[in-house]
Amino acid sequence: MSSAAVAQLKFINQIPIDVVTRPGGSQALGHVYPELAGYKVRMTGQTPIHVIDRNGYRRLVPFPHTFMHLFKDAAVIQGTLVSDLVTEIAEGPSLDDGAILIRGMSSERIYLLDRGKKRLITSHIIMDKYDFNEGAVVVVPQILIDSVPTGDIWE
């Protein structure tokens, strides 16, 4: 290998990689963009869709069932940004395959049930921000809601 090629490799190895800490302490490459919270994004020419959470991480949404159980139909077409720059957004944990919206029979509070935890959706403004489908909310006995561990608020 020529000395110019070796020098170029050394230079590339010195370029800092942006490393951010995910909630929970693990590290991810990329940047967080909390200002994009609520957006659905996907790479140009790719099928996987991600939702940007309140902390600015892109979280894979298993498609199509989980996506259809959470979001309004129009979110696939109108609400998804398509760009080659999606990979620059730090990746957080995927939503569970089968994540759903739930509420108890005796309550108006709606939760995102994901990763074994209920995550309170604080208002209709947040429902609209994420294009959550209120018609897809599963109503269950309140005792089931009360028995599920509470996770971070989804806002």
Residue 84's CB is within 10 A of a number of other CB atoms, namely 10
Query: Rounded to an integer, what distance in angstroms lies between the CA atom of residue 114 and that of residue 35?
Result: 22
Q: What pTM does this model have?
A: 0.78
List the 58-61 sheet strands across, edge first. Answer: 58-61, 49-52, 40-42, 80-82
Taking only the tens place, the pLDDT of each residue in 87-123 is 899 999 999 999 999 999 999 999 999 999 999 999 9
Give me the residues paired with residue 138 across strands.
102
pLDDT given for residue 28 in this prediction? 54
If pLDDT is split at 50, 70 and 90, which confidence band does 3 have? low
pLDDT given for residue 83 in this prediction? 85
Query: Rounded to an integer, what distance in angstroms lies between the CA atom of residue 28 and that of residue 138?
Result: 33
CA-nearest of 116, 89, 70, 85 to 22 is 89
Taking only the tens place, the pLDDT of each residue in 9-64 is 343 334 333 334 445 554 456 899 999 999 999 988 888 999 999 999 999 999 88
Give me the residues paired with residue 89 across strands.
31
Residue 32's CB is within 10 A of a number of other CB atoms, namely 20
The residues near 20 (Cβ < 8 Å, ≥ 6 apart) are 27, 28, 29, 30, 31, 32, 90
